[in-house]
Amino acid sequence: MAAENPVIARLKHRIRHNGPISVAEFMQTALGDADGGYYTTRDPFGAAGDFTTSPEISQVFGELIGLWCADTWQKMGAPAAFALIELGPGRGTLMADALRALHMVPACRAAASLHLVETSPVLREIQQTTLRGENIIWHSELPDLGRTPAIFIANEFLDALPVQQFIKLEGQWCERVVTLDDTHDRFCFGIHRRHKLPARDVTQHLRRPKTVPSSNTPRRCKAWSRTCPISCSGMAVQA
């Protein structure tokens, strides 16, 4: 009989001893655990993996992103130095293709310092190979670059971040949690009725105007970087 995945074993132990856990905690452990997490221990892309993304299908995707970066840099006033930051860079394919396009605007390429936000040791090693010869700075979380102008790029990144989930039951927002079905020895969803959100807070959150940060304003980039959920959880609600 094959040994149980260590992450699954730890999650089961945690739930049995401490009770149900949040969806965010379950996702964080399942995806990012250093000893068996999905993203930290494998290359999930391509025919040998579980899925593929646009940069792996056509170089045109990344090259268009690179040209967009050059255009945005010019609209920022063509600063002499700026940070080009990619969140969740996968194999480094998107950045490699984007840089190929950036070489068409030499001043922009010369002004760019390259930063990759990556938590997976496996993927970092692949990125080092893909981007061999480039001066890359790796980070495990959003870097604090002070007042340096920055352009952020990310492809299929935010959808993989841990989130807390809340569901509306009998007029109250209750947190959805992960627990164990001991009869079948498997994970299942449950409802934490004692962990509730005031309906007024949720309503205000949903009604709050949605704004997209403009990369041509360094102050906005800085403010957005402080709130971008690299290491913290988001929230999903279901009426």
Per-residue pLDDT of the chain (239 residues; tens, 9 = 90+): 556 788 999 999 999 999 999 999 999 999 888 888 888 888 887 777 787 889 889 999 999 999 999 999 999 999 999 999 999 999 999 999 999 999 999 999 999 999 999 989 999 999 999 999 999 999 999 999 999 999 999 998 888 888 888 888 877 788 999 999 988 889 999 998 776 666 666 666 666 665 544 444 444 444 433 433 333 345 555 55
Q: By C-alpha distance, which of 161, 8, 36 is closest to 87? A: 161
Residue 88: per-residue pLDDT: 92
**How is residue 196 written in tokens?**
């509730």
Contact 98/105 with Cβ under 8 angstroms?
A: no
Residue 116: per-residue pLDDT: 98
**How is residue 30 written in tokens?**
């399942």
**How is residue 212 written in tokens?**
């997209």
In eight-state DSSP terms, residue 133 is T
Q: For residue 14, which phi and psi values (nearest 5 degrees)?
A: -65, -45
Q: For residue 163, which phi and psi values (nearest 5 degrees)?
A: -135, 150
Catalogue the E-assigned strands of 89-210: 112-117, 136-139, 150-154, 163-169, 172-181, 186-197
Instruction: State the alpha helices, DSSP H only, in 92-138.
Output: 93-102, 106-111, 121-130
Contact 40/30 with Cβ under 8 angstroms?
A: no
Residue 148: per-residue pLDDT: 95
| 15 three-state secondary structure | helix
**What angle in degrees, to the nearest 10, is found between the helix axes of 93-102 and 121-130?**
30
Residue 236: per-residue pLDDT: 54
Residue 89: per-residue pLDDT: 94
Q: How many helices (H) and strands (E) does the chain have?
A: 9, 9
Residue 196: per-residue pLDDT: 66
Q: By C-alpha distance, which of 52, 53, 86 is closest to 69? A: 86
Contact 84/153 with Cβ under 8 angstroms?
A: yes
CATH, range 54-156: 3.40.50.150
Sequence ranges of the domains in the chain? 6-43+161-238, 54-156
| 16 three-state secondary structure | helix
Residue 225: per-residue pLDDT: 39
Residue 44: per-residue pLDDT: 81
Q: Can you give the pTM of this predicted structure?
A: 0.73
**What angle in degrees, to the nearest 10, is found between the helix axes of 59-75 and 93-102?**
50
